[in-house]
Chains A and B, each alone.
Chain A
Amino acid sequence: MNGTEARLARIRGRALAKTHNARTIAALASNPGCARRAVMDAAGVDKPRIAAYAGFPAPFGQSRFALARGNAFEAQVKANGAAELLTLLREHLGLPIPQAHYDDLGEVGGNPSLDLRHARTKALLARAAASRGDAGTMFDHPLLRLQVGGRYAFLEPDLIAFQLHGRFHVVEIKSFAVIDGQADGDKVAAAAIQSAVYVLALRDALAEQHIPAEAVSHETILVCPKDFSSRPAAAAIDVRKQLTVLRRQLSRIARIDDLLDLLPAGLTFDLDPDGEGVPRRSPADLAAAIRQVDAAYVPECLSTCEMCYFCREEARGCTAALGRAAREELGGVEHVATVLRLAGAAGTPGAPGGTVASGTAGTPDAPDLAEAAELLRRAARLRAEALHTDAPRAGTPGREAG
């Protein structure tokens, strides 16, 4: 165990390390500037548990109806040696039918050990890449791994299809519907970045066997239910952009030492469990430890990070908590109190001087305060003027039908 690993282990404490999956790795890309998230993820901290113990349980839950639907759809698509999927892939990849093997890598000779499965996946993938045969192959339950912050995370893509022209395609099966050729953009984006994680892991696995990265296509296949039915439809997604983002983010996490150097040596998120595993640490003490690591809260965290409520509470009074756009429009000034002070409390209705000047007055704030101050003063003056003069052409309630 090297120094970094020992350090991360101390931060994690006695809790078991949470392993990454494609979803959590994909989420790393959503807020790259956040040191708190980077450190917690690199150390394998159980974020939901820590957030809940500190008094801010994560607002995420998954409905069992959604889970059941997802599992049922995947099972249906893969049933009978992935018969339905084969039909779809034939259309999309020109896979020659019926020459298609179906290899289930879910276990190796009855042994579901992760390391064994990973070794077998690598061996079979390499053999497929080297084979001169004319059969396509589908690998179900392959097990890949990807290095995240110095440790390996095991990943299970839904399926990998291999075709004789020498290319592997990652297949992602999702249960959200594609209606009249259109699907929810956010969900497609999430699926694309998850697929990109698998592409990266697959390329890593093949690189060990000296197989070039081009063997894995940057076009992944997304399989979704069509319209209101449960019949599958497939679409190709180009994930080159997502690959670039992920690579940059992973290399940043690999340099976790830089972040750790800024933290106090004794920092830990250990809950101090007694013999029965009941935590003894005080929540306030844990919260204080969390605050040692800087966060970069933005409202988008509310849908991606388990720590979001903790960080939001901490960010109260910051313009970033109002959204990225608001912060920019307020001249990049960091604190709401500073904004109001610069805007001139007198001209700002609803914010008497006392409220405004309290708190963070004098905080070193945005780089160019003079420019921001000028903008905010003008905005405040215009707002006050508009609120206090009669609307020149505002209709009266009687003039408009509604």
Chain B
Amino acid sequence: MSTLTSLARAVAVAAGTAQRTCTVRHVHVGARPLVFVPLALAGEAGAPLAAMAGADPQAPTLLVVAEPRDRDQRFAFAADLAAVVLRYVEGYLAAEEDTPGREQATRYADAPQLLVPNPAGIAFTRLLGRSTRFRRTEGPYAVPASVPLLGRWLTFFAERAESPASSLMLAATDMLAAHWATGQSPVEDLNLGALLGWIDPPPGMSGAQAAAMAEDPVRCPPAGPATDPTFDNEVLDQRMLAVRTARLAGDGRAYERARAALAEALATQLRPTWALMWRAVALLRGLPGGEHVRARWDADKDAFTWHARHVAAGGPPQPRRDGAVAAARRLAGLERVQEMVAAQRAFDDPLVMAEHRLAGEAFAGTVTAAEPDRVDRGGPRAVLRPRITVETGDEPRADRGATFTSPARPGQQARIVAVTAAGGRTRIVLELRGGMGRSLTPQPGSVPAVGESVSYAAFGDGYQPAPAFPAPEDTPWTHGGPPAPYVPSDEEAREDWS
């Protein structure tokens, strides 16, 4: 959020439709994402009730749990979901590509992508992963091998979803709200139907009207995982009761009928969201991809490859909680990635850069003077240090000696030499280094020419190297000492799920 996006919200109110806050798409949208719309039973912790899942908009798989409080039925649901998710993930384990100069010589050529309606859908996926990944395939409470494997993959996706750089798992409301400003509040933007109503209202309707319609749970059932309480009380309860009664009576035909009726009732709650999800995908595909999106997706492919090979090599499932070193590393990684993504978004997108310009962290203007061949002979060795003068209407916080970077020449550093007021505008003299070749004359085009429009930011788009952390076995005593090595326990495998 910034003044610029808030202004876009105000414009959206007046215009009646959502306004763009980005000129390009800042997330990767795969050619064949897996859409997953889960529903949970109210009041229970991570009790699946139903789900629609699949990579083909025309052919979703509907999964239903007739009695969510029954442990066996929950695991049967997990096995059914595993059939869909694992087959989809395994589809990406065929083609590999070379990664020259990297530690791992190859990685998978593409990666799976899991899309859910909202952040609560990600939280539910994490819980479902947590409740299934420690299960055993033999001994008491044995489950099919696919169940713990599903748990490990769901956990992998949910953990990647924490990183702002990753597109492996995304919530549709997050993606849309990051690219459009609606005429409502961020709280209301969590409703996928209302959000899409603002962005893409049906013909003859304003965004505000479409959003109001989407708030009616009868016309537009909630996008889950929480169901509409009225649906629970007036439909779901009776249909579940009918299934239970038929099962207890031992009436096979009545049982099948009751199950079909329950499945149909749940499908009515899921189908509208399923359609909304694919509309969201189509809308995002309509935006051109930002320049850095591909590099970030490459990192996602690396993460996917690493995890797939870890699983294939018989590595253990993700622990319940990170150890001290792993937690510190993860936190530091998230902070670095957050800064990196914020900078890359600005470099890819003039509308995002405008937010930084308004905040004084960047400026844009025209080159009014240039000394491309200026050489600094003050040091032991003559070096090429061209200077340019940029005139801007922005009001950057530019101190002498500060280093700026231009999206057009990210490999070049620009140090501020002088800042002077010129009428209502500001004249900034920059000294350039790097990105101009090795000789004392710059390569053509490497120094901005007089008349060129340029922009400079107080941050670069580079990835900062990770700070050094001790190995887990060297965890200092202040942090609990080295963690006990992970040993799968019977207790975890037998844990209640009721």
Contacts and interface: CB of A to CB of B under 8 A. Distances in A.
A179 B127 contact: yes
A64 B232 contact: yes
Contacts of A380: 7
Contacts of A177: 45-46
Interface stretch (A9-17, A25-33, A282-290, A317-325): A317-325
Interface string B326-358: 000000000000000000000111110110011
Most buried by B among A69, A330, A395: A395
Contacts of A230: 496, 498
B497 interface: yes
Nearest to A231: B496
Counting chain A residues whose Cβ lies within 8 A of the other chain, the interface size class is 35 or more
Given A180-B321, A230-B496, A402 B28 contact: yes
Nearest to B183: A322
A385 B358 CA distance: 12
A383 B8 CA distance: 9
A387 B351 contact: yes
A229 B496 contact: yes
A379 B293 contact: no
Contacts of B354: 382-383, 385-386
A375 interface: yes
Interface in A276-302: 299-300, 302
B29 interface: yes
Nearest to A343: B7
Given A317-B13, A392-B408, A65 B41 contact: yes
A233 to B, nearest CB: 12
Given A180-B321, A230-B496, A349-B11, A383 B29 contact: no
B297 A395 contact: no
A348 B11 contact: yes
B185 A322 contact: yes
Contacts of A340: 10-11, 14
A323 B186 CA distance: 7
Contacts of A356: 14
Contacts of B46: 177, 179, 228
Contact of B351 (A67, A375, A383): A383
B358 A396 contact: no
A70 interface: yes
Interface in B347-389: 347-351, 353-354, 357-358
A62 to B, nearest CB: 6
B347 A393 contact: yes
Nearest to A337: B14
A400 interface: yes
Interface in B463-498: 495-498
B313 interface: no
A220 to B, nearest CB: 22
A329 B290 CA distance: 26
Given A393-B291, A397-B288, A176 B3 contact: no
A159 B116 CA distance: 40
B435 to A, nearest CB: 15
Contacts of A326: 1, 6, 9-10, 185
Contacts of B28: 400-402
* Residue of B9, B130, B321, B495 with highest tally of chain A CB at under 10 A: B9
B45 A176 contact: yes
Nearest to B21: A383
A129 interface: no
Contact of B185 (A61, A180, A323, A393): A323
B289 interface: yes
Interface string A323-365: 1011001110000110110010000111100011000000000
Most buried by B among A229, A330, A394, A396: A394
Nearest to A355: B14
A387 B233 contact: no
B413 interface: no
Interface in B161-202: 167, 183-188
A340 B29 CA distance: 34
A399 interface: yes
A136 interface: no
Interface string B2-25: 111111111111110101100111
Interface string A138-178: 00000000000000000000000000000000000001110
A389 interface: yes
A77 to B, nearest CB: 15
Contact of B3 (A229, A317, A329, A391): A329
8 contacts: A317-B13, A322-B13, A326-B6, A330-B10, A355-B14, A395-B289, A397-B288, A402-B25
Given A69-B44, A343-B10, 11 more contacts: A179-B45, A179-B127, A230-B496, A319-B6, A330-B3, A375-B358, A383-B7, A392-B350, A393-B347, A395-B24, A402-B27
Interface of B: 1-15, 17, 19-20, 23-25, 27-31, 41-46, 110, 127, 130-131, 167, 183-188, 215, 227-230, 232-233, 236-237, 285, 288-291, 293-294, 297, 320-321, 347-351, 353-354, 357-358, 407-408, 453, 455, 495-498
**Closest 6 CB pairs between A and B?**
A400-B289, A177-B45, A229-B496, A69-B43, A66-B43, A61-B229
